[in-house]
């Protein structure tokens, strides 16, 4: 092909010198050798991209994959689309497209990824999942409620507090202050008695690693509180004043947690709606009936009544 | 692109431009601005995909395994090669070698058709299995929430891309006709170069689509 270069244009010479590759109106003509090298580079990078998918680097797979793709894109835009020798204004124009795309992503991602951290009001969390309270007067410890608390502890707490509640779970190493050791008697933020633990579970500890577990139903939080007290050196009971402090004005009544400020993450609420729509066959949601709602049934209807049509 | 022609078929720059070069630079800049709108259009869907992928990593990971990496890699190679043949076609036009330009444009069209055939096999396989967007998803072996969402993105992204490939085939056919008419000369090759830009952009989008959908899901 090389001989065809000069057929009509003696000034577009063979020399690799960039300035020699000028056609009419000073237009840069891509030498065939550069085109071929670019093709080979793109092919090599494609092999790297495919090979990379067989190596497990965790999140770095994505980062490296995108960097390789961007190098390829730069080769295509810079050499094949000739941005390298083009008017600089065109590079600015094209680059601005990616700049605004970046701004779009940076503004959108935090909203979409962290929306679940915003809570809306919702009534049902004082009630158990299946609609009927398993435990009447959940502030009174019974062997059943402690056993229930133990199961919940294994699901929700062991990562930080450890299986034996010694505050030495796998995630504890990264935490400062360290998670509470439940077998120690002193230093409990809200006091070592069930209502104090219940309060901590509801509110979390500001400035500490303890998160709020307000999304757990109140009776589950009571169950956890009783279990946590049970693994300590002695079982401490709440006084009426302790119970009153967490809203149990009359401990003889069977209502749980009347002063609860019910809350639920927005994305959970959206899942409920999606599940309900899918179940009734009216919705446009992706979620099929019966998928992902096994532990949510019973929540949704009350949510709709209390959260999405609040009495004004 | 209504380029004014005189009776001999030789291109003359339009009266509102100072010179042929002025016209060429303006046309090219217009093309770059068009490509910015393309970046923003496909980019918006990319952003949506990235956010949903970050939100439902397990579902997107399981779903992406259902794509055929070999066919995706084949199409990547085909598109890169077609970008090369296109660039050779454009430089041939700039040097006045119209025969080579036509040969290269035809090769590029052939590669674009290979891409479409591979895409046809991928799509028909998915339609057959029921790995379809949203509520049309019926694939029994992977029933996980948000997997249909992955396929919504897959079909919209690759669908828009495939549409661009089809448009590209049309544009290249039109270019072959114009080169054959003798209109394209070393003094006037704007349409061929701009169609080249368009085609490279189609390649550029696929360079991101392939790893994002097939490899890293």
Q: Note whether A145 and A243 are same-domain residues.
A: yes
Residue A180 lies in a domain: yes
- Find the range with the poorest average confidence among A81-85, A211-215, B61-65, B87-91: A211-215
Name every chain A residue with its beta carbon within 8 A of the beta carbon of B50.
105, 109
Q: Note whether A156 and A242 are same-domain residues.
A: yes
| Model-level ipTM above the cut of 0.95 | no
**Positive or negative torsion for Cα B97, B101, B107, B110:** negative
Torsion of CA B112, B117, B120, B121, to 10 degrees: -140
Count structural domains, chain A.
Answer: 2
Q: Which residues pair with A29 in a beta bridge?
A: none
Q: Note whether A71 and A150 are same-domain residues.
A: no
Rounded CA separation A121/A307 (Å): 6
Residue A217 lies in a domain: yes
Name every chain A residue with its beta carbon within 8 A of the beta carbon of B208.
66, 69, 73
Q: Note whether A80 and A183 are same-domain residues.
A: no
pLDDT truncated to tens, each residue of chain B (217 aa)?
Answer: 445 554 455 677 888 888 888 888 899 999 999 999 999 999 999 999 998 888 888 889 889 889 999 999 999 999 999 999 999 999 999 999 999 999 999 999 999 999 999 999 999 999 998 888 887 888 878 877 788 899 999 999 999 999 999 999 999 999 999 999 999 998 889 999 999 999 999 999 999 999 999 987 5
Residue A224: give its domain's CATH number. 1.10.760.10
Q: Tokens at residue B200, please?
A: 């490279």
The residues in A 98-137 lying below 8 A from B, measured between CB atoms, are 98, 100-101, 104-105, 108-109, 112-113
Q: Tokens at residue A114, please?
A: 């962290």
Report pLDDT digits (tens) over A116-138: 555 544 433 433 443 345 677 78
Q: Of B199, B174, B142, B180, nearest to B1 (Cα)?
A: B174
Contacts of A99 (CB under 8 A, 6+ apart): none
Q: In which band, very low, low, confident or very high, does the pLDDT at A287 lie, cut at 50, 70 and 90?
A: very low
Q: Note whether A78 and A140 are same-domain residues.
A: no
The residues in B 32-91 lying below 8 A from A, measured between CB atoms, are 32-33, 35-37, 39-40, 43-44, 46-47, 50-51, 54-55, 69, 73, 76-77, 80-81, 83-84, 86-88, 90-91
Q: What is the CA radius of gyration of chain B?
A: 20
Closest residue to A69, CB basis, from B24, B88, B207: B207
Q: Of A294, A181, A287, nearest to A228 (Cα)?
A: A181
Residue A13 lies in a domain: yes
Closest residue to B95, CB basis, from A29, A105, A113: A29
Nearest residue in A to B203, CA atom: A76
Which residue is associated with the tokens 């929306």? A115
Judge whether A294 is closer than 8 Å to chain B, CB to CB.
Answer: no
**How far does B193 lie from chain A, in Å, by closest CA?**
9
Rounded CA separation B154/A112 (Å): 20
Closest residue to A93, CB basis, from B32, B50, B55: B32
Closest residue to B73, CB basis, from A5, A50, A62: A50
Interval A150-169 mean pLDDT: 86
Q: Note whether A67 and A138 are same-domain residues.
A: no
Domain boundary among A53, A69, A86: A86
Burial of A2 (0-12, 13-18, 19+ CB in 10 A): exposed
Q: Which long-range contacts (CB under 8 A, 24 or more apart) does A242-246 make?
A: A242/A191, A242/A193, A242/A194, A242/A195, A242/A196, A243/A139, A243/A195, A245/A195, A245/A199, A246/A195, A246/A198, A246/A199, A246/A202
Instruction: Check A36 against B84: CB less than 8 A apart.
Output: yes
Nearest residue in A to B30, CA atom: A90
Q: Note whether A165 and A250 are same-domain residues.
A: yes
Q: What is the pTM of this model?
A: 0.61
Instruction: Check B94 against A29: CB less than 8 A apart.
Output: yes
Q: Which domains does chain B have, with CATH numbers?
A: 20-215 (1.20.120.80)
Q: Which long-range contacts (CB under 8 A, 24 or more apart) does B53-58 make?
A: B53/B217, B54/A109, B54/A113, B55/A112, B55/A113, B56/B145, B56/B146, B56/B149, B58/B144
Which residue is associated with the tokens 């998160």? A211
Contacts of A178 (CB under 8 A, 6+ apart): A167, A172
Residue A234 lies in a domain: yes
CA A259 to centroid of chain Cα atoms: 30
Closest residue to A108, CB basis, from B51, B144, B196: B51
Q: Note whether A78 and A159 are same-domain residues.
A: no
Q: Note whether A82 and A166 are same-domain residues.
A: no
Residue A122 lies in a domain: no
What range defines the domain where residue A13 resides? 2-86
Rounded CA separation B167/B82 (Å): 15
Q: Tokens at residue A192, please?
A: 């070592």
Contacts of B134 (CB under 8 A, 6+ apart): A284, A286, B148, B149, B151, B152
Which residue is associated with the tokens 């969390």? A125
Residue A240 lies in a domain: yes
Q: How many CB pairs under 8 A join A and B?
A: 173
Average pLDDT, rounded, for chain A: 73
Domain boundary among A222, A255, A288: A255
Residue A167 lies in a domain: yes
Distances (CA, A) of A140 to A210, A227, B10, B176: 24, 12, 97, 86
Which residue is associated with the tokens 């071929």? A36
Nearest residue in A to B193, CA atom: A81
Residue A306 lies in a domain: no
Interval A281-306 mean pLDDT: 43
């Amino acid at each position: 092909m090389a001989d065809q270069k000069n057929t009509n244009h003696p000034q577009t010479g063979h020399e690799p010198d960039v300035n020699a590759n000028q056609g009419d109106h000073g237009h840069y003509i891509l030498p065939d050798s550069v085109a071929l090298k670019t093709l080979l580079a793109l092919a090599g990078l494609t092999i790297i991209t495919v090979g990379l998918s067989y190596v497990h680097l965790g999140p770095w797979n994505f980062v490296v994959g995108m960097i390789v793709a961007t190098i390829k894109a730069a080769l295509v835009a810079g050499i094949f689309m000739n941005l390298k020798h083009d008017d600089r204004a065109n590079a600015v124009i094209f680059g601005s497209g990616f700049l605004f795309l970046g701004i779009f992503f940076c503004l959108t991602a935090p909203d979409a990824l962290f929306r679940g951290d915003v809570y809306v009001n919702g009534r049902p969390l004082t009630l158990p999942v299946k609609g009927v309270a398993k435990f009447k007067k959940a502030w009174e410890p019974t062997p059943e409620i402690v056993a229930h608390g133990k199961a919940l502890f294994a699901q929700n707490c062991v990562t930080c507090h450890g299986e034996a509640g010694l505050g030495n779970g796998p995630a504890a190493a990264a935490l400062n202050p360290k998670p509470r050791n439940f077998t120690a008697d002193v230093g409990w933020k809200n006091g070592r008695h069930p209502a104090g633990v219940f309060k901590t579970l509801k509110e979390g500890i500001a400035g500490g690693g303890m998160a709020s577990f307000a999304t757990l139903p109140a009776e589950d939080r009571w169950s956890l509180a009783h279990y946590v007290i049970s693994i300590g050196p002695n079982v401490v009971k709440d006084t009426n004043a302790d119970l009153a402090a967490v809203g149990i004005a009359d401990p003889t009544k069977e209502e749980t947690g009347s002063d609860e400020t019910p809350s639920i993450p927005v994305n959970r609420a959206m899942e409920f709606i999606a599940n309900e729509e899918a179940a009734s066959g009216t919705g446009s949601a992706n979620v099929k009936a019966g998928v992902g709602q096994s532990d949510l049934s019973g929540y949704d209807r009350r949510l709709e009544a209390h959260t999405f049509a609040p009495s004004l | 692109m209504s380029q004014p022609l005189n009776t001999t078929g030789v291109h003359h720059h339009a009266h509102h431009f100072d010179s042929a070069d002025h016209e060429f630079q303006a046309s090219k800049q217009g093309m770059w601005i068009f490509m910015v709108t393309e970046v923003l259009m496909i980019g918006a869907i990319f952003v949506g995909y990235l956010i949903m992928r970050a939100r439902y990593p397990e579902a997107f990971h399981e779903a992406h395994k259902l794509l055929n990496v070999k066919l995706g890699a084949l199409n990547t190679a085909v598109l890169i090669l077609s970008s090369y043949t296109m660039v050779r076609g454009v430089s041939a036009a700039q040097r006045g070698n119209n025969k080579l330009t036509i040969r290269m444009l035809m090769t590029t069209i052939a590669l674009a058709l290979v891409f479409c055939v591979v895409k046809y096999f991928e799509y028909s396989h998915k339609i057959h299995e029921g790995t379809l967007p949203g509520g049309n998803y019926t694939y029994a072996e992977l029933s996980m929430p948000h997997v249909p969402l992955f396929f919504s993105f897959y079909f919209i992204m690759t669908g828009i891309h495939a549409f661009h490939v089809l448009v590209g085939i049309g544009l290249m056919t039109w270019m072959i006709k114009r080169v054959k008419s003798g209109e394209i000369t070393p003094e006037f090759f704007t349409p061929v170069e701009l169609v080249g830009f368009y085609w490279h952009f189609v390649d550029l989008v696929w360079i991101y689509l392939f790893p994002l959908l097939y490899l890293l899901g």
